Amino acid sequence: MYHIRQETAQDCMAIKEVNNLAFGRNNESQLIEELRKSRSFIPQLSLVTETDTREIIGHILFSEISIETKNGSIPSLALAPMAVKPSYQKKGVGSALIKEGLKRCKELGYHSVIVLGHPEYYSKFGFIKASTKGIFPPFDVPDEAFMVYELQPNAFKGIQGTVRYPEPFLNV
């Protein structure tokens, strides 16, 4: 059995290990370290999955971003990264992290979440192509992989714009 909780300072090395194992590289763990130092970091939205034996097996991070429109800047969140230790993948750990994370994002009063990821996976949680809502990436990515999730009904009504990621994302 496992449970989801907010990360603590003692979790940093385990979170790094989870991300490095899941992605087979250290780009994502470096992103997390840089985001922790930035104004975009929201401690309540850096979540870990922990087993009954206190092993960290999953991690998800939501960070503040903005959507730049002709009328100004709209706050939003980026879901990135999300990682599960390979030996625990395909067992519902990632799904539980996403569902709990979205719930906490909504509870904190955010209106939307942006993700760049596998459309087949994220669409199961209600993510849809961002372009259908008038939201576009700041760089070239496949249209179907750049997705949004509305935490509040009609979060994108009357909005058209381009996502602006904080500096740490630009170095990944």
Residues spanned by the domain of 145? 2-170
Q: By the 8 A CB rule, do 172 and 28 touch?
A: yes
Q: How many domains does the chain have?
A: 1
Q: Which residues in 117-160 belong to E strands, given as ranges?
A: 128-129, 135-136, 146-150
CA 33 – CA 36 distance, rounded (Å): 5
The pLDDT of residue 158: 92
The pLDDT of residue 170: 87
Q: Report residues of the chain scoring pLDDT below 50.
A: none
Q: What is the CATH number of the domain that holds 130?
A: 3.40.630.30
The pLDDT of residue 172: 75
Give 134's Cβ-side CA count (13 Å radius). 12
The pLDDT of residue 171: 81
DSSP 67-88: EEETTEEEEEEEEEEEEE-GGG
